[in-house]
Structure 1
């Protein structure tokens, strides 16, 4: 199954609860000899959580939850090194971006974005990766167009680096109000697209 990266443009994501967060390949510091353990041509959290003799020297379980996740990369100065490695204008955007506060930490503030991410992860399969993009905090940031531009550029950068294979897809996902399910596709007020193979349709109602 071809891999898919999806922009979860919402309230952010709880990094510790989702192992399918996309790691921005262009932001992986060149000085870290990370191994692609499963040979899928991209560095993911599956690789970072592989047995100790692979990538353990280059990661640290900073939050002590027993796995390497997005919070750990953001807390590790070897990864969040203060350098815009992919030169896209978003410093250390290893695991998404927060447009509410202008930081690289898109940690969820009320659970909605995490909930949507869990639905995507469970329904779209193991080859799907999520880019958390926070535009809603205690108030909406009004950064929808910026978020779309950010995700589009990130997906294009992944293609250029061959992180996405020839037939892979990049999809935007927004679901400000989940209203139901239609033949496997979730319908959302204000937008939202079904994923490949879900058999559903777009709903703007």
Structure 2
């Protein structure tokens, strides 16, 4: 019996080793290659413990913000400058969802991703479509849509209710995924019931969504944001989080900001990270080691850019030559300049900026 048990153990170990060996090794570069646009070089004399294993120093806020300093004031109707991003670029934001009632929702609504294939498949919604002249395909292109959530403004949640027809019109396996998805409750409205936390709205607003028309300036102000709810708030089941990552990538996100804490590890999550890497989707994830149940992917998954890998001006980076009214970048001593891996406690704050600049 002992010999049989020993043989069974050996067979099991060999099978596990074979499965591990069959999993593809990480390549030095993704299939298509990353193009950051702005490059910076680590000064190892100034930052002796800094590392750049994933080439993340290419996402240089230093270079980008020097260019931003020459911006004219940008109206919400457009603009085409090298550091702003593009209206066709989508950033997947994964956390606890979005709240269209408060916490900067008035600035968020025009920058929230709308799935054209799903919305335009509904004859009622398609008939309402009127290009409002701004660079984005957004909820403001559908005037006359009823205020279904009763918050007094036209927002993507109104489109979700109005345009849902019970059909998977784009054929991606998610019925009526009009503006993101909720993997916590497994439905098409990524609304957050939380009205006090406000973390998700603020991160989207300051990191990606805001536009310099008197509001807060984001790091990728022309980009769109796809809100994806992976959990009730930042704590997520690992398989739900993996599905959220795959959904974002397959829905066209160019990069993903994940401000989440995984409730466990899984092979599925590892495979999701690999899938994004091999499809040239950059992932920035929060990274704190709380030595607790909730783990954050930026500190252990290969190819994930760690959210606390941010160097602030008061830690030795170069200062931005100008600041902008209404922007957090005006705060003295709080200007992010580079994104290579130097110790920093700014994990959520850093994650949104790194993924935006990418």
TM normalised by structure 2 equals 0.43
The answer to whether the Cα contact below 8 Å between 1:108 and 1:114 also exists between their aligned partners in 2 is no
Q: Cα 1:73–1:185, aligned 2, differ >3 Å: closer, same or farther?
A: farther
| 2:251 aligned residue | 154
Which one has a larger percent helix, Structure 1 or Structure 2? Answer: 2
Aligned counterparts, 1:1-205, within 5 A: 1=80, 2-3=86-87, 4-16=89-101, 17=105, 18-19=108-109, 20-30=111-121, 31=123, 32-33=126-127, 34-38=129-133, 40=135, 43-48=137-142, 55-56=143-144, 59-76=145-162, 79-110=163-194, 111-120=198-207, 121-122=209-210, 123-137=218-232, 140-142=236-238, 143-155=240-252, 170-176=254-260, 182=312, 183=336, 187-188=346-347, 192=351, 193-196=354-357
Which one has a larger percent strand, Structure 1 or Structure 2? Answer: 1
TM normalised by structure 1 equals 0.71
- State the Cα RMSD in Å: 2.7
Q: Which runs of 5+ in 1 are unaligned?
A: 49-54, 157-169, 198-205
Q: Cα 1:24–1:8, aligned 2, differ >3 Å: closer, same or farther?
A: same
- Counterparts of 1:133 and 1:126 in 2: how far apart (Å)? 19
Helix, strand or coil: the match of 2:246?
Answer: helix
Shift of 1:71: 1.8
Shift of 1:6: 0.8
The answer to whether the Cα contact below 8 Å between 1:9 and 1:135 also exists between their aligned partners in 2 is yes
Of structures 1 and 2, the one with the larger relative CO (CA 8 A, separation 6+) is 1
Bigger Rg, which one: 2
Shift of 1:62: 1.8
The answer to whether the Cα contact below 8 Å between 1:15 and 1:71 also exists between their aligned partners in 2 is yes
Shift of 1:10: 0.4
- Counterparts of 1:152 and 1:90 in 2: how far apart (Å)? 14
- Counterparts of 2:131 and 2:112 in 1: how far apart (Å)? 16
